[in-house]
Chains A and B, each alone.
Chain A
Amino acid sequence: MKQLTVLSGKGGTGKTTITASLAVLAKNAVVADCDVDAPDLHLLLHPSVVKTQEFKGSKLAVIDKSKCIECGLCREKCRFDAITENFEVDPIACEGCGVCTIVCPVSAITLTERISGHAYVSKTKYGFMAHAMLSPGEANSGKLATLVRQNAKILAEKEHRDLIIIDGPPGIGCPVIASVTGIDAGLVITEPTMSGIHDFERALQLLKHFNVTPFVCVNMYDINKDNAEKIVSFCRENDIEVVGKIPFNPVVTEAMVNGKPIAEYAPESDVAKEIGNMWKKVLSALQYKSG
C-alpha cells in the first residue's frame, strides 16, 4: 500500500483543489483529509458518512468545589495559567496534563475526558474517504490527523485499495508531521510568490527530516514566471522532480463554487489536463518505488 500526502507549508496554494482532482483520477484510492481544524475537501467530494467516531483528544481538569480549600497550590504549579483566581479551570488554557491533580492536598481535582471532535468514515462517488472535524478551538489536531490516517489505512486494507491520498494541513507543526510520517511521497504544492517559496523550502526540509521523497507542483505559475523559474531551478539543483506547472485559471474557483473537483467540472481545461499529466508522473514514480 502506498501513501501520498499533498502539502504546501503556505496555506491557500491549492492543496485541496488538487487532492480532489487526484481522487477523481486515481479511481481506486482512499482519500484522507488531515486538515482537521479547517477541512474543505468534503465541499468538493460530498461524502456520505458511514461511520462516526467520537474523538477524545486531551483531558480537562475539574475542581470539586465542595472539597477545595483554596490553598492555591494548583494555581502555583500549573504552567498553563489554566486556574483562575476563583479556582475555576479555564478550558481553553488547560492542556490536561494532570499536575493539579497530584499537587492538590485534598484530592479535589480530577481529569475528565472531553470530546474534542469527530472522525468520519465515508463513501463518495470517487471512493472511500476518511475525514474529521476538530471542535472549534480545540487542541490535538495532530492526534486527530493520526486517527484519520488509521481509519484510512483500515479502509484501504478492507476494501483492497493500494493507495491512500492525504490532504495535509498548512504549516509544518504537529498536524503536518502527523500527516507525513511513514508516507511514501509528499507532493508539495507551491505558488510563485516570495511567501510561497519561503514556505515550500521549509516544507521540503520537513520531508527531508522524515526521509520522505518529495515531488513539487508550482500552482498558478504564470502569476510570476520569474519566481516560478526560481522554484524550478531550486528543485533542479536539489535533485527534486517538478511534476507539474499549473496555470492560473478562474475556472478553478468556478468549479469550487459548483462543488466539484476541477478534473470533473472542466476536464478539458488547461488546469485539469496539467493535473492529469502530473498524476501520471506521480503514479509511475510511486510504482517505480515499489519495484
Chain B
Amino acid sequence: MPRNAGGIIVAIASGKGGTGKTSVAVNMALSIGNVQFLDCDVEEPNAHLLLHPEIAQTEPVYVLVPIVNEELCDYCGKCADFCQYNAIFVSPGKVLIFPELCHSCGGCAIVCPKKAISEEQHRIGTLKFGLVSDSKIVYGELDVGEPMAVPVIREVKRRIKRGKTVILDSPPGTSCPVIETVKGSDFCVLVTEPTPFGLHDLRITVQVLEDMAIPFGVVVNRAGIGDKKVYEYCEEKRIPILLEIPHQRKIAELYSRGVPFSLEMPEWKPRFQALFDEVRKLAGK
C-alpha cells in the first residue's frame, strides 16, 4: 500500500512563532509526495516561498457585511444595540458601519424593524491555488489592514479533499486562527525549540489540543541549543517526541535561501517519511 493511501489530515502547529512549522510541513510534504498542502497562516503565508508552486488560479475571499438603505432606516439604533462587536454606530440621521469589526453574523438584518439592512460582500483576502509536481497547494493571504484571519482560514479549509493526505500549516499562537486551523485534524505535530520560550508556548498549545481532544506529538527543532526542559516536560506528560532536527548552520542557510533542506540533504527524506508513518500510526489511520 502506498505510504499515503487513505485520507488523513495532519496539522503542523507550535504556539511560539519561528520554531520551524513551515519547514517541517514542507519537508514532510515533499518527502511523502502526492499531498494536498494547505497554508493556513494567512497573515504571513510562507510555505510557497519554499515550495515555489506554479500558481494556477487565484480567487478573492469575501465576507458579508451590512449595508443600510437610509431611505428605510429611521435610526432607531436596534442594530447597534444588538451588535456585540461595535461594528455599527447609529446617531440621529446617520449610520456608520465598520466592516473590519463585523463578524458577519447577520443579526443586524434580523433585528431591523424596517428591513433597512441587507448584506454585501466585503473583500478581505485572496486564495491561491498551485502545483508542486504531484502535490497541490492552497494558501490564503489576508489583505493588509484587515484584522480577521479566521474567515480566510475557513475558505482555505473548505478546499480540503477528503481521502487525500492533507497537511495544514498553522499560524503561530494559541488563539482563534490556530483553533480554526487544527479543528477537525486527525493529528497535530507540534514543532518546538528546546528553549524557555519554546517550552512555555508548547505548554499552552498542549492545553488547547487536550481540550479539543486532538492527538499530538512533538518535533524538536534546533536540538542542541537551550536546555533539556522540553524533553523533561514531554517525558513527564508522556508526549511522544517524533523527530529531532539538530541546530545546523547548513539547515538555517538553506532555509534562508528558500530551499527545503531535505532536497539538498537527502538523508532527511527517509526521516520525514518515518515521521509521517509514525503520525499515521498514532492517529490510528
Contacts and interface: CB of A to CB of B under 8 A. Distances in A.
Interface of A: 9-13, 16, 35-38, 40, 43, 58-59, 77, 79-80, 92, 95-99, 102-103, 111, 134, 136-142, 169-177, 191-196, 198-199, 202, 205-206, 209-210, 223-224, 227, 250, 253, 256-257, 259
Interface stretch (B66-74, B88-96, B143-151, B270-278): B143-151
B257 to A, nearest CB: 7
B33 interface: no
Contacts of B265: none
A99 B253 contact: no
Contacts of B227: 257
Nearest to B202: A38
A183 B73 CA distance: 37
B201 A40 contact: yes
Nearest to A209: B145
Nearest to A38: B201
A96 B105 CA distance: 10
Given A10-B18, A12-B19, A58-B84, A37 B175 contact: yes
B197 A43 contact: yes
Nearest to B145: A209
B269 to A, nearest CB: 22
Interface in B1-58: 15-19, 22, 41, 43-44, 46, 49-50
Contact of A59 (B19, B84, B106, B148): B84
Given A103-B110, A136-B211, A173 B82 contact: no
Contacts of A175: 175
Given A11-B17, A92-B179, A224-B253, A137 B84 contact: no
Nearest to B179: A137
Contacts of A256: 195-197, 226
30 contacts: A9-B44, A11-B44, A12-B17, A12-B19, A38-B16, A38-B200, A40-B200, A79-B104, A96-B84, A97-B107, A98-B84, A98-B105, A136-B208, A137-B174, A137-B175, A141-B173, A169-B173, A170-B171, A171-B44, A171-B171, A171-B172, A173-B146, A174-B149, A193-B256, A194-B49, A194-B256, A199-B44, A256-B195, A257-B195, A257-B226
A189 B107 CA distance: 41
B46 A195 contact: yes
B183 interface: yes
Contacts of A37: 173-175, 178, 204
Nearest to A93: B183
B175 A134 contact: yes
Contacts of A103: 110
B61 to A, nearest CB: 14
A18 B199 CA distance: 19
A91 B256 CA distance: 40
Nearest to B47: A195
Contacts of B121: none
Contact of A12 (B16, B41, B147, B149): B16
B211 A142 contact: no
B258 A194 contact: yes
Contacts of A136: 174, 204-205, 207-208, 211
B225 A250 contact: yes
A138 to B, nearest CB: 7
A99 B103 CA distance: 12
B282 interface: no
B217 interface: no
Contacts of A253: 195, 225-226
A238 to B, nearest CB: 15
- Report, nearest first, the 7 A-B pairs whose CB atoms are least far apart: A11-B17, A12-B18, A97-B105, A171-B43, A174-B147, A194-B258, A224-B256
Given A77-B110, A79-B106, A198-B49, A177 B258 contact: no
A205 B144 contact: yes
B208 A102 contact: no
**Most B CB within 10 A of own CB, among A103, A196, A210:** A196
